[in-house]
Structure 1
Amino acid sequence: MANDWYRNTDWNEAIAAAFEEKLRRARDKKQYLRIQASTLAHSHPRVALALLERYFDLGEHFDHAQAHVDRATAHLALGDIDAAIRSYEAALAREAAFPNLLTVAYLELPYLIALHGIDARFEQAMDMLSASRERLMFPVERFEHHAARAIILAKSDRAAARLEAKAALEVASEDHSGFRYHPTVGLVSEVHADALSRLRGLCDA
């Protein structure tokens, strides 16, 4: 496909050289930098971060909030939780100023806080979860919502935590997104294995 040049899933000198040659001739360099960074955020996070630096250096663009989320993904791949939190908060700040393009930061941040047991931010996380109920669409979003609440509530209210854990596990068993033309989009997957294990533990406790 003609667009594959900015959606490389691997990265080496040859791929980088081909990408740079195409980018040199492209009119909208910002968009291509961000999309390529997003594609590499999990597998080549340092490359993704370098591409995003170039993206931001080019000035204003409509998808700055998503670029911050992509940064968070890359930081998480490197195990830098603090940097990921800062990136999610930057995405939310951008959304507050430019609400026409929203991201998953509203949910990924409290989910991250819960999974990593950042107690000092639990109140912030719960406030965000309460404020965003109506935005939940896909099963994975409803799962992360209930999972985050379950893990946080486990510190203070085991009964409430168990109810949230059961709700999350019910969502995890769904095999259809509810969207006719995208039946497998937004399902809970193996990337949620840690959360699933902890939720089962809460239900069995």
Structure 2
Amino acid sequence: MEEQDWFRCKNWNANVEELFFSKLQRARTQRDQYLAIQALTLSQGHPDVALRLVEHYFSTKKSDFEDLRALLAKANALISKDLIAEAIETYKAILSLEKEKPNQRSRAFVDLPYLVATRQVVDEYPFALSVLEERSKDVVFPVDLFIWHASLSLILEATGERQAAATHAGKALDAAQVKKSGFRFHSKVGLVGVQYAQGVEEMRRIYKAAEREKGPRQRSTK
């Protein structure tokens, strides 16, 4: 483990933990940041450790500057443990924090609705839709555009609005086809990656189903 990477460990055991906390104890101004970054790094591969680090962060933090990153680590870890209701509540806390501090931004405004839509958390559909509407102007990257439209598509299909769902599915598929982000020096940043392969397939299913449904009606009117 290189010196500069001691707070970005992807693997964890008793020895790594001992070394991490010994270095953390000696850290000064960036202590909270190191703790939050390490929790975020472990949030998917070692969710229990990440949650423990997040708890330690909130009980020992010197300021609230890293609260957003710590909460993102918590949300990711809860999703990894399939604790969806708790993850949604954590995302809500992140969105509330972003309202209080507009200079701090995350992708929670699309990640929460996408989680609600893909896990079919029906009781949270109204809230997810309100977030998508309220934060629509914050969509920047193609991946955010994909998630925004895909979330709408899945919720609309679940509520019986199939043609509207197909419209948004088509727009999500268009976003998934984008190969350059539009940023001159970071053309690959923010593209739809393989982690959304299942979501892309769902959008194709919704779009094709609506096209099949629409076809016979069109033919019958001729």
Query: Please, which of 181, 189, 196 is the counterpart of residue 200 of structure 2?
Result: 196
Identity %, equivalent residues? 37
Q: Which residue of structure 2 aligns with residue 33 of structure 1?
A: 35
**1:59-115 CA distances to partner (integer Å, 9 max, x unpaired)?**
432121232122101100111101101110111122222222122112211111111
Alignment of structure 1 residues 119-158 onto 2, 5 Å: 119-154=122-157, 155-158=159-162
Give yes or no for the alignment of 1:178 onto 2:182.
yes
Quick one: which of 172, 178, 194 aligns to 1:168? Answer: 172
Give the whole-Å Cα distance in 2 for the aligned partners of 1:182 and 1:144.
20
Instruction: Point out where structure 1 has 5 or more consecutive residues left out of the alignment.
Output: none
Report the structure number with the largest CA radius of gyration: 2
- Structure 1 residue 169, shift from structure 2 partner: 0.9
The answer to whether the Cα contact below 8 Å between 2:32 and 2:66 also exists between their aligned partners in 1 is no
Distance 1:49 1:178 in 2: 36
Contact 1:175 1:184 survives alignment (8 Å): yes
Write the distance in 1 (CA, Å) between the matches of 2:11 and 2:183: 30
Aligned to 1:118: 121
Which sits farther off after the overlay, 56-65 or 43-52? Answer: 56-65
Distance in 2 between residues matched to 1:130 and 1:97, nearest whole Å: 19
Residues 14-50 of structure 1: CA deviation (Å, up to 9, x unaligned): 2222212211110132111100011111111111111
TM-score w.r.t. the length of structure 1 is 0.94
Deviation at 1:186, TM superposition (A): 1.5
Distance 1:102 1:121 in 2: 22
Shift of 1:187: 1.4
SS of the aligned residue for 1:6 comes to coil
Asked if structure 2 preserves the Cα contact closer than 8 Å seen for 1:33 and 1:55, the reply is yes
Question: Does structure 2 retain, via aligned residues, the 8 Å contact 1:65–1:92?
Answer: no
Q: Tell me what 2:55 maps to.
A: 53
CA contact (8 A) 2:37 2:69 kept: no
**Which amino acid in the other structure matches residue 6 of structure 2?**
W
User: How many Å apart are 1:136 and its aligned residue?
Assistant: 0.6
Answer with 26-35 or 9-18: which moved more: 9-18
Given that residues 63 and 101 in structure 1 are in contact (C-alpha distance below 8 angstroms), is that contact kept between their aligned partners in structure 2? no
Give the residue type in structure 2 aligned to 1:127. Answer: S
CA distance in 2, matches of 1:99, 1:167: 28
Q: CA deviation at 1:168?
A: 0.4
Q: Could you say what the CA RMSD is over the residues aligned between the two structures, in angstroms?
A: 1.4
Aligned residue number for residue 216 of structure 2: none
Contact 2:141 2:191 in 1 (8 A): yes
